[in-house]
Structure 1
Amino acid sequence: MTTPPASEPPPPGTPASAPAAAHGANPPRGIENVPRSSTETGKFGRLFRGLTPLVLDDAQIQNVVATMVDPGDPAAPGGWSPTPTPTDGGIAAGWTYLAQFIDHDITFDPSSLLDQANDPDALENFRTPRFDLDSVYGLGPTANPWLYDSNDPDKLLLGVNPPEFAQRDLNRNHQGRALIGDPRNDVHIIIAQLHLAFVMFHNAVVDLVRARPELVSGVPATPVGGWGSTGPTVPDRPTFGQIVTLVRWHYQWLVLRGFLPTICGTDVVDAVLQVKKDKLDAVLKLYSVRRKPWMPVEFSGAAYRFGHSLVRDAYLLNGPLGPRPVFSSAGDSDPLADLRGFRRLPSGWEIEWHRFFDDLPGSGPDTQRARLFDTRIASALHTLPASVDHMRRSLATLNLKRGVALELPSGEDFAAAVAGKLRVDPSSVQIQTGLPHAAPLWFWFLKEAEVTRGGQTLGPVGGRVVAEVLVGLAQNDPSSFLKARPDWTPTLGATPGEFTMADLFTIANVTL
């Protein structure tokens, strides 16, 4: 049996009183007991189950961490600058947090305490990972009625804050905790407002479909968490299930046709998701599904942790409000000192989304960039607050310890195995890491991005892993457009057949 992984901290913004459901506070059950005999017997598995695990002692881990410290840029004290700095990448800062939102969507675990008692290793009885927005919809209006507006049950419920707080916020209880499908989407201010944008987008689509029922013509009514109907629909009477499907398909388009090319590179995605006779076709060589979708630990424990390298020390939410750090020493006692979440949105903290995404009316010089895909991690993540990690360790330390606990192979061995699967020259995927020993897989993916792509996207191997797993999840979801209607194209965007984050924010009518 493998050693249980080190506890991983939540994303930026988790206060001391954050609930256990916060991202990383309790790793998903079963991830520490990943079978090597099969890749398809549970929620987690391995792309290459025969590779030798990389074993590193604490001293070696700390030596790697020492190479990952970003000394900071004198032109951008605190991590934010109104002008470009050497640490800036090419992609807008908002993609960092859409990546986190997607992660929460595909790893949602609503298991009860009874399930934990009966299923300690979680190798069988988990819901399969899908891009179905269950982090937003929960289990539907019947099972989770508190997520929905009782006066109009097709719509999700918005928050009503006291006048001293922002008036557009997630629905919250009297202690300020968000009542949403996945509590991890409240761990910091940015992802909480991104979740709010998806809620408002759904509600806006309800109104659009009621005004134009033809928008759901031919769109199936898929169930939400066991609620809903897949039976025949009545003409000119759109159902909740049809509306949800329309929202989900546009979200899935964002993931497959917007997010993946941005993160993995267009060339990598074009090899995995091809257009054939006006239909999208998945071409998967690393990730295969025979029974039900599963999560490779090489993805969850290494490749998809690219987002930690993109996080900035601080962000500007809007023009009047000054930059706020993701963490600060005063944050435990002063709720206005940093971006931690699990609280009502302070007045004046509404995000102007053109500062986080391109292609909005105000996008341009004010649009903040994500940091480079590289092995340097923002200083705020190297000494975590005690409320996030009581030992105040570096996020890099926790990631590397987790990789050892998961028995992940070295980056060099993994790349060679990928080369074999893709039938390319193994030397074409090898890189110099600068380490005196084989590289941890997470570190290797970041170094590959730095060396082969100049830090602008993931590298060919890391990008291929991320693209194949996300495309594979969609391909094996019977309710996804990629499986049910591979010739489908978006109907809600400003440009026919396209749909972008700018479209989502515009339709949601959030602050642009």
Structure 2
Amino acid sequence: MTESPADDGSAAPLPPAAHGATPTRGIGNVPRSTTETGKFGRLFRGLPPLVLDETQIQNVVNMMVDAGDQGAGGGWSGTPTASDVAAPAGWTYFAQFVDHDVTFDPTSLLDQANDPDALENFRTPRFDLDSVYGLGPSANPWLYDQNDPDKLLLGVNPPEYAARDLNRNHQGRALVGDPRNDVHVIISQLHLAFVEFHNHVVDRVRADPTLVGGVPATPVGGWGGGAPVGYRPTFAQIVTLVRWHYQWLVLMGFLPAIVGADTMSAVLKRDKKDRLDSDLRLYNVRRKPWMPVEFSAAAYRFGHSLVRDAYLLNVGLSPLPVFSSDGDANPLADLRGFRRLPAGWEIEWHRFFDGLPTSGPDTQRARLFDTRIAPPLHSLPASIDHMRRSLALLNIKRGVAVELPSGEDFATAVAGKVGLDPMSVAVQSGLPHGSPLWFWFLKEAEVQRSGQSLGPIGGRVVAEVLVGLAENDPSSFLKAQPDWRPTLGAQHGEFTIADLLTIAAVTL
């Protein structure tokens, strides 16, 4: 679910903190030469770009219009519908959280002005939770509790708002490492869960320092890189422990649910010594990790197809739409963020994830991985796009602008690289011309996986890039200790999103 909406300069600019206000820095300069470097690159530099005119783009968009879910819950009445996938709805927003982590760019405005195409001045994409930790207590002290700087600061709201919330300024804007994590109510509360998880891990490690035994210290912005004093763990060791458990969630929980077990096992498996080992055939790193534009502008936008019309946050609320026509004027009409959490809007997480004690019939499901997009995304609110255009239109236009190849050409190239029969991955798109890559990935999922996960081509791209980012991060457990196992889960050696939420002590 990478950067959403505004993309081509034709929409009015949004407030600076708004999600998708500008294209990700560097995506406008994607090298085709192997001698060029930048934040973005191409998995296949020689494939010709797909060229579509405005009419052709609009015809594809028209094919993606969905009539919408029926029933009281934006399609959720406790009984799965034909538009539901087996995966719980929470993975939709965990995917967005992960995207913000690996695409966070804290480069100063001066540096960005000097390097607008992000050829050199950008941070390496890593699963390091810099969207949560920022640059550490020294550089970003407003994120931390000055009475206990090992801990992140929680918010204190007036009585008319929710008691548990992100720390916010007097205008209600969240003080977080990445402002995109305040774009809507669901992701802001997921970010809050990570803040509270970190703080509870601090307490656990202080009570039992053996939890960080053998865990290296990974400095955050130059803070906390020193050796432990006596038996007291350092902040940097605690951060490493948190990050490694998060990385485990990404690789062992989230990815299999999104790409399918067969694709996952082809990319990441255990060797004879029980160490995780990868087999990357598409994503190669020579100097430092980079972001494939086929991933950023197409494959990882699968989440837009998973978004439901509305969500039920807790038993005391009616279902609330993601966006609504009344939302610009009425802050209680939909789930938009950049404000204090209204009283009574706390998420009961068993409604979004499996594995919690009360998960079950009330656990909402994501929509299918397919080419049909829920109605709230057909016409975006004016505060996001003043022309009220479709998110599908903006996605496809961005793909054309960054010269993505057709889905057909890309699939043939991937099949050759990973040893698949090109005919076995062919998809009938229903289009009279080449398919936009994003559309093709969704159609592949629809045809090849019955909409339950990404298909063998799209899933392979997502799996290789995310595994590749971890493999090329010297501070990740996959690189530093590939035989490492989690220590904080209810079951030793395993760790799930339910474990994280339970430890965070959020509403379950």
The normalised TM-score by structure 1 is 0.96
Please, which of 241, 245, 251 is the counterpart of residue 246 of structure 1? 241
Counterpart for residue 510 of structure 1: 506
Q: Is the 8 A contact 2:13 2:21 kept in 1?
A: no
Report whether the alignment pairs 1:237 with 2:232: yes
Letter in structure 2 aligned against 1:246: L
Counterpart for residue 149 of structure 1: 145
Please, which of 469, 482, 485 is the counterpart of residue 489 of structure 1? 485
Please, which of 21, 27, 30 is the counterpart of residue 26 of structure 2? 30
Counterpart for residue 426 of structure 1: 422
Counterpart for residue 479 of structure 1: 475
Between the aligned partners of 1:198 and 1:21, the Cα distance in structure 2 is 21
Deviation for aligned residue 1:113 = 1.6
Give the stretch that moved more between structures: 136-145 or 430-439.
430-439
Counterpart for residue 443 of structure 1: 439
Report whether the alignment pairs 1:184 with 2:156: no
Deviation for aligned residue 1:80 = 3.6
Cα distance per residue 1:114-142 (max 9 Å; x no partner): 11221121111100100000000000000
Aligned ranges for residues 95-106 of structure 1 at < 5 Å?
95-106=91-102
Deviation for aligned residue 1:22 = 2.9
Counterpart for residue 299 of structure 1: 295
Letter in structure 1 aligned against 2:5: P
Q: Is the 8 A contact 1:129 1:473 kept in 2?
A: yes
CA RMSD of aligned residues (A): 1.6
Counterpart for residue 396 of structure 2: 400
Counterpart for residue 9 of structure 2: none
Letter in structure 2 aligned against 1:214: T
Counterpart for residue 272 of structure 1: 267
Between the aligned partners of 2:476 and 2:503, the Cα distance in structure 1 is 22
Q: Is the 8 A contact 1:44 1:297 kept in 2?
A: yes
Between the aligned partners of 1:40 and 1:46, the Cα distance in structure 2 is 11
Letter in structure 2 aligned against 1:237: R
Report whether the alignment pairs 1:325 with 2:321: yes
Between the aligned partners of 1:77 and 1:220, the Cα distance in structure 2 is 46
Aligned ranges for residues 76-225 of structure 1 at < 5 Å?
78-225=74-221
Cα distance per residue 1:233-268 (max 9 Å; x no partner): 344110000000000000000000000000000110
Letter in structure 2 aligned against 1:321: L
Deviation for aligned residue 1:227 = 2.5
Letter in structure 2 aligned against 1:205: V
Cα distance per residue 1:315-359 (max 9 Å; x no partner): 000001110001111111111110000000000000000000001
Q: Is the 8 A contact 2:112 2:121 kept in 1?
A: no
Q: Is the 8 A contact 1:38 1:45 kept in 2?
A: no
SS at match of 2:175: coil
Letter in structure 1 aligned against 2:227: P
Between the aligned partners of 1:409 and 1:118, the Cα distance in structure 2 is 30
Between the aligned partners of 1:192 and 1:498, the Cα distance in structure 2 is 26
Report whether the alignment pairs 1:366 with 2:362: yes
SS at match of 2:276: strand
Distance 1:392 1:235, change over 3 A: same
Report whether the alignment pairs 1:282 with 2:272: no
Please, which of 382, 398, 413 is the counterpart of residue 417 of structure 1? 413
Q: Is the 8 A contact 1:134 1:225 kept in 2?
A: no
Counterpart for residue 470 of structure 1: 466
Query: Structure 1: any 5+ residue segments left out of the alignment?
Result: 1-6, 11-15
Letter in structure 2 aligned against 1:256: L
SS at match of 1:490: coil
Letter in structure 1 aligned against 2:192: L
Counterpart for residue 55 of structure 1: 51
Distance 1:142 1:73, change over 3 A: closer
Between the aligned partners of 2:256 and 2:36, the Cα distance in structure 1 is 28
Distance 1:404 1:464, change over 3 A: same
Cα distance per residue 1:57-96 (max 9 Å; x no partner): 1100110011100112444674443321111111100000
Letter in structure 2 aligned against 1:114: L
The normalised TM-score by structure 2 is 0.96
Between the aligned partners of 1:74 and 1:41, the Cα distance in structure 2 is 48
Between the aligned partners of 2:486 and 2:169, the Cα distance in structure 1 is 36
Between the aligned partners of 2:352 and 2:117, the Cα distance in structure 1 is 39
Give the stretch that moved more between structures: 338-347 or 233-242.
233-242
SS at match of 1:190: helix
Q: Is the 8 A contact 2:132 2:177 kept in 1?
A: yes
Q: Is the 8 A contact 1:375 1:450 kept in 2?
A: yes
Q: Is the 8 A contact 1:263 1:458 kept in 2?
A: yes
Distance 1:406 1:160, change over 3 A: same
Distance 1:318 1:330, change over 3 A: same
Letter in structure 1 aligned against 2:233: P
SS at match of 1:90: strand
Between the aligned partners of 2:350 and 2:207, the Cα distance in structure 1 is 28
Between the aligned partners of 2:161 and 2:98, the Cα distance in structure 1 is 28
Between the aligned partners of 2:38 and 2:376, the Cα distance in structure 1 is 35
SS at match of 1:176: coil
SS at match of 1:24: coil
Between the aligned partners of 1:39 and 1:297, the Cα distance in structure 2 is 17
Between the aligned partners of 2:15 and 2:197, the Cα distance in structure 1 is 27
Letter in structure 2 aligned against 1:199: V
